[in-house]
Structure 1
Amino acid sequence: MSRSADAGHSRPPVTADDLDGAVQRAVELLCEAPATAWEGKAGSLEWDCWETVEHLSDDLFAYAAQLGPRTPPLDGEVPFLWESRRPGGPANAIHADREAGPDGLLQVLEASGALLVAMVRTTPPETRAHHGFGASDAEGFAAMGIVETLVHTYDLAQGLGLVWRPPADLCSRVLARLFPDAPSATDSWPTLLWATGRAELPGRPRLTTWRWDGRPRADDGT
């Protein structure tokens, strides 16, 4: 599915329902993983699969937290303490109790996603909050949460021996929101993997650096 129909002023919005669906699909897939597989590396990442779910949970929590204050910060992050549990591990505020096992880990992921879904549903559209890739609105944070969920579930699927292919229309909407300069005539899921440095596209080598643009789109009237 190409994104050509999503360009310009007719861009479909990214919604809280989109985010909720992405997190639920990810949790459903990850529930299939063998209990013994979580210490393996997550795809091309330097983290193991357990740490990667913690990182994804932390991303979703942090995006919800940015939207949480009555006046969200525009010059930095809400100052939770992020720390790594080992050299080279992800620096998170959110860590799952390992004694709860993989089921508990996925509960942490689902709960963190639910926090961001709730904040996206209730934050006024004119509200802006800081992100290092551009101050954003609730829709932008929903799109960021979806991208984090889709691509880290891809990393996890590689490490856990699972197959993950999210809906093409969902990939199209987050590409249009966060990666407006990405190729529009290619299938949306491979394009999202390319835009996040995880795959090649025909005639386009794998990116070694990348970033999205979280700022509201000018053609959305925001």
Structure 2
Amino acid sequence: MAPATPPVDDHVPYLFEPRRPGGPWNAVHADRAAGPEGLLRVLEASGGLLISMVQTKPPETRAFHVSGVSDPEGFAAMGIIETLVHTYDLAQGLELNWQPPADLCARVLARLFPDAPESTDPWTALLWATGRIELPTHPQRSAWMWDGTVRE
């Protein structure tokens, strides 16, 4: 039900399988056989699930995440960052110029990376915070983790 146009003649091509020896069976993947259209259906459905969860949970709801117990706003920010940076990764592989809205980047950056440089435009700072680029005043991160804990 999450996609804007839910499929009525086929399923969303999710797969639950390990992708490496000893990998977890509960990892969610798009079925590669469904091609790019299937990947987009999986992404749209997954985004819809996240939106539904965030919109229906009271703000005081808390849940475990490896980056810290978080609230609906934190989980929304984590989902947005995952979408933004992996879309960037795909765009780089396809040699496409892609950039998300600066205000969206600024909001999720402030929520999950309070240590990010504020003097850099938000998208560039987000790419730095997630280890994708270096900045003139900040070396590229080889390891990183956002702070998903609740803000008071």
TM score, norm. by length of structure 1 = 0.58
CA offset digits 1:26-48 (Å, max 9, x no partner): xxxxxxxxxxxxxxxxxxxxxxx
Counterpart CA distance in 2 for 1:122 and 1:128 is 13
Further displaced range: 138-147 or 159-168: 159-168
Name the residue aligned to 1:105: 39
Pair 1:93-2:10 in alignment: no
Aligned in 2, Cα 1:174/1:88: closer, same or farther, shift over 3 Å? Answer: farther
Pair 1:134-2:68 in alignment: yes
Name the residue aligned to 1:152: 86
Aligned in 2, Cα 1:133/1:163: closer, same or farther, shift over 3 Å? Answer: same
Counterpart CA distance in 2 for 1:151 and 1:182 is 15
1:41-190 alignment, distance < 5 Å: 83-86=17-20, 93-190=27-124
SS in 1 for 2:147: coil
Aligned in 2, Cα 1:156/1:91: closer, same or farther, shift over 3 Å? Answer: farther
**TM-superposed deviation, 1:109:** 0.9
1:174-213 alignment, distance < 5 Å: 174-213=108-147
CA offset digits 1:8-27 (Å, max 9, x no partner): xxxxxxxxxxxxxxxx9xxx
Counterpart CA distance in 1 for 2:63 and 2:24 is 23
CA offset digits 1:176-219 (Å, max 9, x no partner): 1111111111111110011011111121110011111111113x
8 Å CA contact 2:128, 2:141 repeated in 1: yes
**Aligned residue pairs: how many?**
141
Counterpart CA distance in 2 for 1:190 and 1:88 is 36
Richer in helix (by share): 1
Counterpart CA distance in 1 for 2:124 and 2:26 is 28
Give the letter for the 1:126 counterpart: E
Further displaced range: 82-91 or 141-150: 82-91
CA offset digits 1:71-116 (Å, max 9, x no partner): xxxxxxxxxxx74324599976323233322111210111011000
Q: Percent identity?
A: 70
Counterpart CA distance in 2 for 1:88 and 1:159 is 28
Counterpart CA distance in 1 for 2:136 and 2:67 is 27
TM score, norm. by length of structure 2 = 0.83
Following TM superposition, the consecutive aligned residue runs of length 4 or more in structure 1 with deviations greater than 6 angstroms are: 88-91
SS in 2 for 1:95: strand
